[in-house]
Chains A and B, each alone.
Chain A
């Protein structure tokens, strides 16, 4: 079986049926996994999940592979880029699906909450924390992820996450203690 990162993109983008079939075989497990994970909270049935995964492939090949042509191998691996694209397509699919088919009585109350697409403005002075420290605190406290999950996200070891967290809180405490005096 062809590995995703061994796909000959030029042949694929030329519209070769054989290259497309190879690409589908290599990409399907990843796209399937990403779509399933993304739709976990939407409680869709198996057919909807399959449709959402199919929608990812449709987007990739539509308009003579327009989306696939935006991929740049120099920037990221094909698998990671595909995962990002697949998740985004799956969320769009689920939102459209929810709008079209579900009666308000059938939707769990939590799912009816307004989407939380906002920036939580923090009363922390600019530059007090690094972007990395800020994101670590967000993941640990706002997303309630554990240290191992945050370490996996940043591809660093758990001890580095703890150290980043510790330094960030020390800075915060120092700053706000100074301010209170």
Chain B
């Protein structure tokens, strides 16, 4: 494709209309610019972006370059670039928060799981009290059993038991 239909006279006419430069007005956002490049904007929105592009040489260069790159097949990037970019975000295990224990969970100051935490605390109190009461009763019965065992007379040793000792009369 060439510019053969664009005559020198046309070019001169266009150039003769250019005057002194003035400071650029506001430009389009990245998203607006991307949407315009894809032809997704309404006519009015597109006209606003096109006015900005027409008045800003830097935006014009950007538009032409991006249209060129986006319209072509791309070669794979170097493995070095990929490796360096991947290393920017750490491994999940590094970012995982420290595991909170039951104690931390029960007495956490945040407002999450309040009902569950209250219920767990109440259950813990009930279990502790009932456990203490049961433990007291068990202790008394164990003491009684032990006392009864001590007061019982010892049984005489059987013959089998005596034969285990080596008797000697000096012979």
- Do these two chains interact? yes
Binding site for B on A (CB under 8 A): 15-17, 20-21, 24-25, 28-34, 37-38, 50, 53-54, 57-58, 61, 70-72, 75-77, 79-81, 83-85, 87-88, 115-124, 130-132, 134-135, 137-149, 152-155, 158, 162, 165, 169, 172-173, 176
Q: A116 is contacted by which of B5, B22, B57, B76 (Cβ under 8 Å)?
A: B57
Task: List the A residue with the shortest CB-CB distance to B14.
Answer: A141
* With A83-B34, A120-B55, A146-B1: A141-B77 Cβ-Cβ less than 8 Å: no
Chain A residues with CB below 8 A from B6, complex form: 140-141, 165
A124 to B90, alpha carbons, bound, how many Å?
A: 56
Chain B residues with CB below 8 A from A85, complex form: 30
Map CB proximity to A onto B44-74 as digits: 1 under 8 Å, 0 otherwise. 0011101101111110111111111111101
Binding site for A on B (CB under 8 A): 1-3, 5-6, 10-11, 13-15, 17-25, 30-35, 37-40, 46-48, 50-51, 53-58, 60-72, 74-78, 80-82, 84-86, 88-92, 95
Task: List the B residue with the shortest CB-CB distance to A138.
Answer: B54
A158 to B17, alpha carbons, bound, how many Å?
A: 25
B55 to chain A, nearest CB (A): 4
Task: List the A residue with the shortest CB-CB distance to B5.
Answer: A162
A50 touches B67 (CB 8 A): no
A151 to chain B, nearest CB (A): 8
Tell me what chain A mostly uses at the interface: helix, strand, loop, or mixed: helix
* With A25-B82, A121-B19: A153-B10 Cβ-Cβ less than 8 Å: no
Q: B50 is contacted by which of A20, A116, A117, A135 (Cβ under 8 Å)?
A: A135
A132 touches B81 (CB 8 A): no
A137 to B50, alpha carbons, bound, how many Å?
A: 12
New contact pairs (12) apart from A117-B24, A134-B50, CB-CB < 8 Å: A37-B65, A57-B88, A61-B89, A71-B31, A76-B35, A119-B21, A119-B23, A124-B17, A138-B60, A147-B5, A153-B63, A173-B13
* With A33-B69, A72-B31, A88-B30: A16-B92 Cβ-Cβ less than 8 Å: yes
B2 touches A146 (CB 8 A): yes
Chain A residues with CB below 8 A from B11, complex form: 141
A75 touches B40 (CB 8 A): yes
Q: A84 is contacted by which of B1, B10, B30, B88 (Cβ under 8 Å)?
A: B30
Chain B residues with CB below 8 A from A70, complex form: 30-31
Chain B residues with CB below 8 A from A28, complex form: 76-77, 81-82, 85
Task: List the B residue with the shortest CB-CB distance to A140.
Answer: B6
Chain A residues with CB below 8 A from B85, complex form: 24, 28, 53-54, 57
